[in-house]
Amino acid sequence: MYQELSRLTLYSNLPEDCPLCQLARVEQRLEETADAPLTGKERATLTHTVMAQVKRLLDLATACGFDGNLWQNYLTWLIITHEDSFSLTFERAEPMDGSIRAIAVEDFRIFRRLFHWDFSAMEKALDIRALTLLQGYTAVPKREQMYNRAVSEAVRGLSPRIAAAQSPEEIYELVTSHYRDCGVGLFGLNRAFRVRGDRESLSFEPIHNLDAVTLDSLVGYDLQKKKLRANVEAFLSGKPFNNTLLYGDAGTGKSTSVKALLPEYGPRGLRVIELDKHQFALLQDVIAQVKRRHCRFIIFLDDLSFDEGEAEYKYLKAVIEGGLESRPDNVMICATSNRRHLVKETWKDRDDMEHDGDIHRSDTVEEKLSLSARFGCSINYSAPDRRLFDQIVVALAQRHPEISLTREELLAAANRFELRHGGLSGRTAQQFINEVAGGNL
């Protein structure tokens, strides 16, 4: 195995501590001591190394919902998460022929042998069977297991096809097609992210427990959803699009509408990166890291507003539109806010008289209003009227067969509930249904 790894070219920079490299070192050590029996200490050390790597493969299987041949699933995961010039070029759908194709085929010839590696000699030397057991692993039933479904589906779909490939050229076509269709690495396997660290240690943390809500499952607000869809469709199709602001009353589904885009458009390459207000200084760095990727990224600024004295909105204005660098075609800024104009105004902003040394009051007002003007697609979500609220309640109740109230009983209880819980809104309707379905009302 270690000799096979030494012949890799495009995939040669595998992490030294990865299970593949660790197991290769164990095999190398066993071959070096083939003519002399292992000491008890050496055998224990090598056995510990192997079992530690088996544990890592089992942990990966649990996190990603793998079953079947875990060794082949692991190698597939290694290939599709490997970011380098070769994989990233295919992610951008740029053709690659000639020598580089021949080099890649040779690497996949090696991986084809690794896919069907015989661990029996290693297991016999160390008197273990764990590696063989990994090739027929039975996982916990998916309904009882929390796992990363996006990674699981990608790997479990590709792994058996690579294993069944009759040639390295066939593996080449399978892997490069995956790079083109799904992307590479973190952004290829996940759809939503948080930003961690600072400018020197910026990283993206995948969000796995995504809401299953879709735009079609949101009751009402049809015109708003249609406008949002049209802008996102243009964005994904490479057509002109606008940064998006969803504003209006609390609890009306603004944030949910953005989250609902992922189930519908995630398979087409849409990714969402959530950024908090205190992280706006990282916005330019975030854009720099994703602008050359194949995926389309929505940078999501939830519950956006600025109080008097907060100056972050000035930085945000320059980044969204107005700086020297043009906006990448694969990045859209999408914000939600309860305020139409985002920045809090005061009555003194409207006073035509000099105040605090500022004699140009109209300029002050224009500066504050210009941030919202940079969102070319503004969509209003206003509180529902009684008719729409009742519609939302009934639609949500239909998703819970355990609710046995008649329509009249349900709406009467919902009306009493909303009087005590913040008025008419989709959020109030959902909270009411939770109470009823949970038997707490």
Residues 252 and 357 in one domain: yes
* 150 lies in the same domain as 196: no
With a threshold of 0.85, does the pTM exceed it? Answer: no
Q: Kindly tell me if the per-residue pLDDT of 251 is higher than 80.
A: yes
DSSP string, 280-346: GGGHHHHHHHHTTSSSEEEEEETT--B-TT--HHHHHHHHHTTSSSPPPTTEEEEEEESSSSSBPP-
Reading the block at residue 418, the tokens are 């909303």
Which helix (H) or strand (E) segment holds residue 415: the answer is helix 407-420
Last residue of a domain, one of 347, 364, 380: 380
In this structure, are residues 189 and 63 in contact, taking their beta carbons and an 8 Å threshold? Answer: no
Q: What torsion, rounded to 10 degrees, do the Cα atoms 275, 279, 285, 287 define? A: 20
Q: Which of 336, 354, 380 is the last residue of a domain?
A: 380
Average pLDDT over residues 14-23: 93
Rg (CA), the chain: 28
Q: Are residues 416 and 315 in the same domain?
A: no
Residues 265, 225 share a domain: yes
pLDDT tens for each residue of 82-111: 888 888 888 776 666 778 889 999 999 999
Residue 2's φ and ψ, nearest 5 degrees, are -65, -30
**Domain containing residue 218: CATH number:** 3.40.50.300
Q: What is the pLDDT of residues 40-53, one digit of tens each?
A: 888 899 999 999 99
What per-residue confidence (pLDDT) applies to 309? 58
The SS3 of residue 139 is coil
Domain co-membership, 68 together with 99: yes
Shared domain for 175 and 134, answered yes or no, is yes
Nearest CA-CA partner of 275 in 355, 334, 343: 334
Instruction: Identify whether residues 431 and 310 lie together within a single domain.
Output: no
Sign of CA dihedral 72, 74, 75, 80: positive
- With bands split at pLDDT 50, 70 and 90, how would you rate the model's confidence at 300? very high
Task: Give the chain's mean pLDDT.
Answer: 84
Residue 206's pLDDT is what? Answer: 87
What pLDDT was estimated at residue 94? 65
Q: What is the pLDDT of residue 233?
A: 95
Claim to verify: residue 167 and residue 66 sit in the same structural domain: yes
More confident residue, 307 or 379: 379
Mean pLDDT comparison of 28-37, 52-61, 312-321, 418-427, highest-scoring range: 52-61
Q: Which of 187, 219, 234 is the last residue of a domain?
A: 187
Domain that holds residue 313: 192-380
The total number of structural domains in the chain stands at 3
- Look at residue 258 in the predicted model and tell me its pLDDT: 93
The residues that bridge with 272 in the sheet, in sequence order, are 192, 298
pLDDT of amino acid 145: 47
- Residue 250 CB neighbour total at 10 angstroms: 14
Q: For position 220, what pLDDT does the model report?
A: 87
Q: Are residues 244 and 270 in the same domain?
A: yes
How much is the pLDDT for 360? 43
Out of 103-112, 127-136, 336-345, least confident range: 336-345
The yes-or-no verdict on residue 373 having pLDDT over 80 is: no
> Based on the domain organization, do 124 and 217 belong to the same domain?
no
- How does residue 144 score in pLDDT terms, banded at 50, 70 and 90? very low
pLDDT at position 370, please?
64
Mean pLDDT of 373-380: 85
Do 164 and 247 sit in the same domain of this protein?
Answer: no
**Which residues have C-beta within 8 Å of that of residue 92, sequence separation ≥ 6?**
292, 293, 294
CB 190 within 8 A of CB 206: yes
In angstroms, rounded to a whole number, what is the distance separating the alpha carbons of residues 136 and 117? 14
286 plus 344 within the same structural domain: yes
Give yes or no for residue 359 having a pLDDT over 50.
no
The C-alpha atoms of residue 27 and residue 71 are separated, in whole angstroms, by 16
| pLDDT at site 347 | 45
Cα distances (angstroms) measured from residue 395 to each of 168, 261, 331, 436: 53, 20, 35, 14
323: closest CA among 296, 284, 291? 284
Distance (Å, whole) CA 119 – CA 51:
13
